[in-house]
């Protein structure tokens, strides 16, 4: 990245920063030639896409390198588009090492936000807020986390029998929210286990513990997954309800053949309905016949 920046600025070994120019116009192939000729690189000419996508991506995003100098609005794949140092950046470089450097730097930064700040703001804007009870969390962006939000804010109020959320995680933090004492009181298995479902919620009124998988691209509750969870939940004092949640019917269709019997399916695009993979009852824990009270 540094060498690509020097190429765009027209800098060769031994030159002074005062010689940096905003008049250099280099296509990505020209940047490679400059780096090979003057900056001790040996880059294949066919690697020009790496210049655009990697080496100059951040300087362009930061506005210190112009990506279509002399040809405003040029398409990304336009082979004639060229890179150039922004005039403001060139002027700043001219001051480097001079007595006015700090003043020029302060002037350059005045009213500008750094690329890191811009990226962080974009990330914050894309975070997904999730509210339940007195709690408010933020998930990272993505369809999977958006589905978890819908499970908490749409599924549980409809079908959760007054459930309280006891555990939820996302891709960045598997233990984003955990009520460890409540789970321990229920006799739930070790919370640090890597086999946790995406959401755990408990209905005290029914003594039901919902084990919910938010299925975007993998991991519905299959027969094998259900068997594993049943074994782990044997000491649990609550009765278990297994739920596979999907954003839409198209995603559900991909996994329908794998869904375990005696489980529930909820589809977010039809939030008022459930699909029951139970043979003899509607929503609730499935109690095997061997455990049913004798008449």
Q: In the structure encoding, which two tokens stand for residue 2, read together?
A: 């540094």
Contacts of 49 by beta carbon, 8 Å cutoff, 6+ apart: 28
Q: Domain coordinates of the chain in residue numbers?
A: 2-120, 127-291
pTM (two decimals): 0.56
Report the pLDDT value the prediction gives residue 283, as an integer from 0 to 100. 64
Q: For residue 20, which of 91, 111, 98 has the smallest C-alpha distance? A: 91
From the CB of residue 124, how many other CB atoms can be counted at a distance below 10 Å? 9
Structure tokens at 130: 């999730």
CB 212 within 8 A of CB 196: no
- pLDDT at position 76: 46
CATH of segment(s) 127-291: 3.40.1350.80
pLDDT at 74: 46
CATH hierarchy code of domain 2-120: 1.10.10.1820
Contact call for residues 45 and 34 (beta carbons, < 8 A): no
Nearest Cα to 176, choosing from 210, 216, 154, 149? 149
Q: Do domains 2-120 and 127-291 have the same CATH topology?
A: no
d(CA 272, CA 220): 20
Question: Residues 132-140: contacts with CB within 8 Å, 24+ apart?
Answer: 132/156, 132/164, 132/165, 133/164, 133/165, 135/165, 135/177, 137/168, 137/176, 137/177, 139/170, 139/176, 140/170, 140/171, 140/172
CB-side neighbour CA atoms (13 Å) of 249: 5
pLDDT one digit per residue (tens) for the chain, 295 residues: 999 999 999 999 999 999 999 999 999 999 999 999 999 999 998 888 888 888 998 888 888 899 875 554 444 445 557 999 999 999 999 999 999 999 999 988 887 777 777 665 655 555 677 888 888 888 877 788 889 999 999 999 999 999 999 999 876 667 788 888 999 999 987 766 567 899 999 999 999 999 999 998 888 999 999 999 999 899 999 999 999 999 999 999 999 999 999 999 999 999 999 999 876 666 667 666 655 544 3
């Amino acid at each position: 990245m540094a060498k690509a920046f020097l190429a765009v600025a027209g800098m060769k070994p031994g030159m002074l920063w005062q010689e940096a120019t905003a008049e250099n116009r280099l296509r990505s192939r020209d940047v490679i030639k400059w780096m090979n000729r003057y900056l001790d690189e040996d880059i294949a000419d066919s690697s020009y896409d790496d210049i655009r996508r990697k080496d100059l991506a951040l300087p362009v995003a930061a506005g210190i390198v112009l990506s279509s100098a002399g040809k405003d609005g040029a398409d990304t794949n336009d082979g004639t588009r060229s890179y150039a140092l922004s005039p403001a950046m060139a002027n700043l470089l001219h001051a480097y090492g001079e007595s006015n450097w700090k003043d020029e730097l302060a002037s350059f930064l005045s009213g500008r936000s750094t690329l890191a700040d811009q990226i962080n703001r974009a990330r914050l804007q894309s975070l997904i807020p999730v509210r339940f009870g007195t709690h408010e969390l933020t998930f990272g962006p993505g369809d999977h986390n958006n589905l978890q939000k819908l499970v908490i804010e749409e599924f549980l109020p409809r079908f959760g029998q007054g459930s309280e959320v006891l555990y939820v995680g996302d891709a960045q933090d598997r233990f984003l929210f955990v009520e460890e004492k409540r789970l321990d009181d229920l006799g739930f298995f070790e919370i640090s286990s890597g086999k946790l479902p995406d959401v755990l919620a408990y209905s005290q009124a029914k003594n039901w513990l919902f084990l919910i998988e938010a299925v975007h691209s993998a991991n519905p509750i299959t027969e094998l997954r259900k068997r594993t969870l049943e074994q782990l939940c044997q000491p649990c004092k609550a009765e278990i309800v297994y739920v596979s949640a999907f954003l839409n019917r198209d995603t559900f269709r991909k996994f329908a053949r794998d869904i375990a019997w005696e489980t529930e399916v909820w589809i977010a695009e039809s939030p008022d309905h459930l699909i029951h993979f139970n043979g003899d009852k509607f929503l609730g824990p499935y109690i095997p016949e061997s455990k049913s009270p004798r008449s």
